Amino acid sequence: MEDGHESNLVYALVYGCILALGLPLNAVSLWILLRRHNLKSPSVVFMVNLALSDLLLAISLPMRVHFYATGTWSLGNELCIWTTMLFHNNIRSSSIFITFISVDRLLAVLYPLRSRHLRTASNALKAVVLAWLFVGVLNIPERLEFSMFFKRKNNSTCFEFQHNVTINNNNRHYHKSASTYVSSMLELILLAVNVVGTTLVSWTLRRHLTDSASVNNKVNVMLIFIMNMMMFIICFLPMAVVLLLYGLPVSTPLLCLASFNCCLDPLLYYFSLDAFWKKKEDIELAREQ
For 242-259, how does the pLDDT look when each residue is reduced to its tens digit (9 = 90+)? 877 766 556 678 888 899
pLDDT of amino acid 273 = 64
The per-residue pLDDT for range 40-90, each reduced to its tens digit, is: 889 899 999 999 999 999 999 999 999 999 888 888 888 888 888 898 899
Q: Are 201 and 105 in contact (CB under 8 A)?
A: yes
Among 76, 67, 89, 228, smallest CA distance to 160 is for 67
Among 123, 47, 60, 122, smallest CA distance to 89 is for 60
pLDDT value at 280 more than 50: no
pLDDT of amino acid 284 = 45
Q: What is the largest CA-CA distance in the chain?
A: 70
> Measured between alpha carbons, how far is 60 from 140 in angstroms, rounded to an integer?
19
pLDDT value at 289 more than 50: no
DSSP, collapsed to helix, strand or coil, labels residue 133 as: helix
Q: Looking at residues 271-288, what average pLDDT do you find?
A: 50
pLDDT of amino acid 279 = 47
Q: Are 29 and 51 in contact (CB under 8 A)?
A: yes
Helices 121-152 and 178-208: angle between axes, nearest 10 degrees: 150
pLDDT value at 174 more than 70: no
* Residue 268 one-letter amino acid: L
Structural domain includes residue 227: yes
Question: Whole-number mean pLDDT of the chain?
Answer: 81
Structural domain includes residue 84: yes
pLDDT of amino acid 149 = 74
User: Which residues have C-beta within 8 Å of that of residue 140, sequence separation ≥ 6?
Assistant: none
DSSP tag of 76 = -
Q: CB atoms < 10 A from the CB of 25, how many?
A: 21
pLDDT of amino acid 164 = 46
Q: Are 201 and 260 in contact (CB under 8 A)?
A: no
Structural domain includes residue 168: no
**Considering the entire predicted model, what is its pTM?**
0.85
Q: CB atoms < 10 A from the CB of 110, how many?
A: 14
Q: Which residue segment(s) compose the domain that 236 sits in?
A: 2-163+173-287
* Percent of the chain scoring above 70 in pLDDT: 78
> Measured between alpha carbons, how far is 148 from 141 in angstroms, rounded to an integer?
11
Which spans in 111-158 are helix H?
121-152
Q: Of the ranges 29-38, 91-100, 194-203, 242-251, which one carries the lowest mean pLDDT score?
A: 242-251
* pLDDT band at 38; cut points 50, 70, 90: confident
* pLDDT band at 155; cut points 50, 70, 90: low
Give the residue with greater pLDDT, 165 vs 151.
151
Give the residue with greater pLDDT, 36 vs 188.
188
Q: Of the ranges 123-137, 173-187, 271-285, which one carries the lowest mean pLDDT score?
A: 271-285
Helical (H) or strand (E) element with 166: strand 165-168
pLDDT of amino acid 159 = 74
Structural domain includes residue 189: yes
Structural domain includes residue 96: yes
pLDDT of amino acid 168 = 44
CATH number of the domain where residue 77 is located: 1.20.1070.10
Q: What is the count of structural domains for the chain? A: 1
* Residue 233 one-letter amino acid: I
Structural domain includes residue 144: yes
